[in-house]
Chain A
Amino acid sequence: MDPRLNIINKRLENIKRVIAVSGGKGGIGKSQTAAALAQYLSMQNYRVGLLDLDFCGPSSHLILGIDDVFPEEDMGILPPLVGGIHFMSITFFSGGQPAPLRGGEISNAIIEILAITRWGPLDFLIIDMPPGTGDPTLDVIRLMERVEFLLVTTPSRVAQEVMKKELSVLRELHIPVIGVLENMKIKNNSPTEEVLAGLQVPFLGSIDFDEDLEDALGNTDKLLATGFVKQLGQILAHSQMIS
């Protein structure tokens, strides 16, 4: 009997909303969105946590320039507070080196992190998800009772097809979907909006391809000034997502 499973939702009980930023494909801006969402919410004076569950390609710490901090131990582990965000990632334990894990072990590591991390009271816990609808996604759904999903896609049909598959899995499992964000828009049209119209899933808006983003990575002040964060902020301000 795995005792850890019985403590996970207790660890999350003082968190108002748990939002998993997902979207089937890799490289579409899930991590970027999760980090910017956490930053934006923290700027609005919400209490925010950010959990990077992409064990094979942890990125949140790189985007936010988090290094030189480590969780404190106090009847569990306490996520360090960095730039107003309570942050947890496997990178604290793998020390920037690869962690080549198979599916079942990824599950086990996710369960361990969820069981021992003491978040304290939060308005939002944002989860940076790995690509795909494999073990981590199914685990988040299985283990975190109140999770909601925010999906990211690009305008490419290749990304949209994968996003639609994830939507259909989430729908079948009755998991709330806040909506879909279209990222890296280059042309004027927003194919995502059309795709979603038939599916009764909210289209949140589009974010343009931002040429200046790369130079801002690792620097929270620069990030806040990017078009990416500004556009995401506008989308969030006009949506009912945060209320």
Chain B
Amino acid sequence: MHEWALAESIIVTIMKEYEKEKLSKVFKVTVKIGELQSIELDIFNFALENMIELYKPPVDLNNICLEIDRCILKCKVCDNHWNYRDTPKKLEEDEKEAIHFIPEVAHTYMRCTQCGSPDFEILQGRGVWIDSIEGEK
């Protein structure tokens, strides 16, 4: 349910940008959802809907487009690139849950699939990100 906190940050950011850029209309907001954080899309949408009701931003749910961002990890030691889903060792539920809250603790529970190092980079697909806000002045 901490999807709500992230949904709130999206709505607050849209409102700030709307004011800052002096927009008269917002057509489309593209939000990337990184795989690593395992956001529950149903909950996230529901939370967005509720936050829209609460904050009354200049968009409705139809204007917010959620895109799943594949999570790619890159080892700092051996340069191996791999996808989060290809991690051979299945994560325990509580490990997944911890990564869901703070994606960086992936370094506690995951290792490079080639050399076993915890020193890898999250190249993409970490968490919730606003890719673009399209509108007119």
Binding site for B on A (CB under 8 A): 1-4, 6-7, 10, 73-77, 90, 92-95, 97-102, 105-106, 108-109, 112-113, 115-116, 118
Asked if A1 and B133 make an inter-chain contact with CB atoms under 8 angstroms apart, the answer reads yes
Question: Which of chain B's residues have a CB closer than 8 A to the CB of A90?
Answer: 102, 105
The 9 closest A-B pairs by CB, nearest first: A76-B5, A75-B4, A7-B9, A109-B104, A3-B9, A3-B13, A93-B98, A1-B130, A73-B1
A-B contact pairs, 15 of them (CB 8 A): A1-B17, A6-B13, A7-B9, A75-B8, A76-B4, A77-B2, A77-B5, A94-B105, A94-B108, A99-B105, A102-B76, A112-B102, A112-B104, A115-B6, A116-B5
Given known A95-B108, A116-B5, contact A100–B118 (CB-CB < 8 A): yes
Question: Which of chain B's residues have a CB closer than 8 A to the CB of A75?
Answer: 1-2, 4-5, 8, 47
Question: Which of chain B's residues have a CB closer than 8 A to the CB of A94?
Answer: 98, 105, 108
Q: How far is the CB of B2 from chain A (nearest CB, A)?
A: 5
Question: Which of chain A's residues have a CB closer than 8 A to the CB of B107?
Answer: 99-101, 105
Q: Which of B75-127 contact A (CB under 8 A)?
A: 76, 94, 98-99, 101-105, 107-108, 118-119, 121-122, 126-127
Question: Which of chain A's residues have a CB closer than 8 A to the CB of B103?
Answer: 108-109, 112
